[in-house]
Structure 1
């Protein structure tokens, strides 16, 4: 770790695909607390197009052997999250793992224990906590606009009728498929709002005839006083529905997806004016006895995630995304798979 007189955290990325290039690199580059120093990738051109000063290395082993690297982001296919994160911790590095944190809770427990033993920070990249719509929902709940929640339904649907070729997410392997791709976003948000459920009931299946992995899930997280429904499908043509929330004071309907990913894909850096502001056409509607009210969306911004990681490493402040929360997200996915395979509701343990 750098001297307290120069508290810049040197970062290495393992992987420079969508996650590394368009999510992490822009936020690391615009936060003076970090220096993105090295990247493991075969795509040197992409790295140097972003920043020619970043060094490219050919293997994770070479990155982890660099004593100057303080923090490692794991931006690989899901089946590599655990082995690379474990190796990074063993090399004395702090770790951020792309969602999902791990494919199994057994793997999560190993990483959590190892990080604690070595006094290192480990967390999962649950950026959707800082989406415009989710920040707006949290504000509505804090202000008790909906009263006691009785039903919460969240969607992350897409229309991709053709199985994509050349992507690991569509090839049968550990951690591939829609559940492990989009499930962590919806599950993490539900856990933030409502805590762990009493049980999980789920249907997970492959709809597309030539699909090798699941492309549909319907997960019910069961609580004593409410029902939480999480759905994602790759076969929804009209796919802008995001949230339907019912409480004893009113209901909230929200469509559209946070604009940050789309903006980042246009090579914009997250230090521009009005970053993460949604157009008015995407604002949600609150329905109460007073009538229908359009609720302006809060601006989304993923930057607080990175600043929190920095403060956790340097100043030991609590993590926003704790390892236990990341483990619980994986646990819900495990229970959802068990429920779907058995046709039974499974207790959360």
Structure 2
């Protein structure tokens, strides 16, 4: 086990920087959050008085002691900030969406390879309790061969409730598909690999909305169908997963509890961590067993440890460049499919 400590800089300290990254970085002995970019506020010091403040991205990137940068800013800035960070010799983790297009993603990975730097996407939902539960059921053969997979990630967010958020503004990389789509796509593509075709319906359904707030993406495979949906007008949004296989079916609702606990300032060192309440556990239906399946405990900590091991020990990234490029390619195809009303080959 290496004793090296990586100095970390966060660009942005909103929901992502404050409630997702900082708790895990601060409780992993391999990291030290040295500096946070906040142009006018000092909220990072409220989290930890030892964290330094930078008033600009250039100020942060000019610090030669910073090893790793997390980009936690609005979507239209991800590509530019990542380019600057890599050019300044920093390893980089980018919030989703990793990039707005496949071409941008490839440019970033080409530069990272040229510089010999680690670059990855924050696909934390691979470590959600529900996804880990589904993955285990599939790997253990409890459902047989999956022939139909549906995942929903819904919210009830009328425009008036969230009007001041940048996520409600029209712009490059904005909208619900860029916001929630990468989670659903990454999970499905990690489970099942490259699809044959992509078909999508991405649209605006809320009154006075400036962004896309509904999507229905269909990924076709030779032996299964995958449907990924999200709506910001789903008042009852408990439904999450429905899987049908040759041996049985599995249905599940509710969200992984980590985010809600992190928002309460509960650190991931508190045990037990990531355990879902029983009312969120799924149910399996099969000849072998019909009944409740206790959810696996979710935990985002392995993502951060993997980034550390990749930088310090040369370990393979858990969220690999080829997987990230695949997700951005499907995003491109989904927008094109929705616009042209066509089924597109992957």
TM norm structure 2? 0.98
Who is 2:338 aligned against?
A: 340
Q: CA deviation at 1:48?
A: 1.1
2:218 to 217, 220, 223: 220
CA distance in 1, matches of 2:228, 2:122: 19
1:206 to 204, 207, 224: 204
CA distance in 2, matches of 1:327, 1:259: 29
**Structure-to-structure mapping, 1:119-130, within 5 angstroms:** 119-130=116-127
Q: CA deviation at 1:127?
A: 0.3
Query: Is 2:281 aligned against 1:283?
Result: yes
**Structure-to-structure mapping, 1:162-241, within 5 angstroms:** 162-163=159-160, 164-241=162-239
Q: 1:343 to 1:5 in 2, by over 3 A?
A: closer
**Structure-to-structure mapping, 1:94-173, within 5 angstroms:** 94-163=91-160, 164-173=162-171
Give the match's secondary structure for 2:159.
coil
**Structure-to-structure mapping, 1:221-300, within 5 angstroms:** 221-300=219-298
Q: CA deviation at 1:291?
A: 4.9
Unaligned stretches of 5+ residues in structure 2: none
CA distance in 1, matches of 2:40, 2:334: 36
Count how many residue pairs are aligned between Structure 1 and Structure 2.
Answer: 345
Q: CA deviation at 1:42?
A: 3.0
Deviates more, 1:146-155 or 1:289-298: 289-298
CA contact (8 A) 2:200 2:218 kept: yes
- 1:252-300 C-alpha deviation (Å, 9 max, x unpaired): 0000000000000001111001110001111000000245221000100
Cα root mean square deviation, aligned: 1.1
Q: CA deviation at 1:44?
A: 3.4
Give the match's secondary structure for 1:44.
coil
Q: 1:41 to 1:236 in 2, by over 3 A?
A: same
CA distance in 2, matches of 1:132, 1:306: 17
CA contact (8 A) 2:10 2:17 kept: yes
Q: 1:141 to 1:291 in 2, by over 3 A?
A: closer
Q: CA deviation at 1:161?
A: 2.1
**Structure-to-structure mapping, 1:77-88, within 5 angstroms:** 77-88=74-85
Q: 1:267 to 1:5 in 2, by over 3 A?
A: closer
Who is 1:302 aligned against?
A: 300
CA distance in 1, matches of 2:122, 2:73: 13
CA distance in 2, matches of 1:29, 1:200: 40
CA distance in 1, matches of 2:307, 2:298: 18
Q: 1:242 to 1:16 in 2, by over 3 A?
A: same
TM norm structure 1? 0.97
CA contact (8 A) 1:72 1:95 kept: yes
- 1:199-252 C-alpha deviation (Å, 9 max, x unpaired): 100000000120000000000011111000000000111101000000010000
Who is 1:47 aligned against?
A: 44
- 1:167-197 C-alpha deviation (Å, 9 max, x unpaired): 1111100111100000000000001100010
- 1:90-141 C-alpha deviation (Å, 9 max, x unpaired): 0000000001110011110100000011110000000000000000011001
Q: CA deviation at 1:162?
A: 2.7
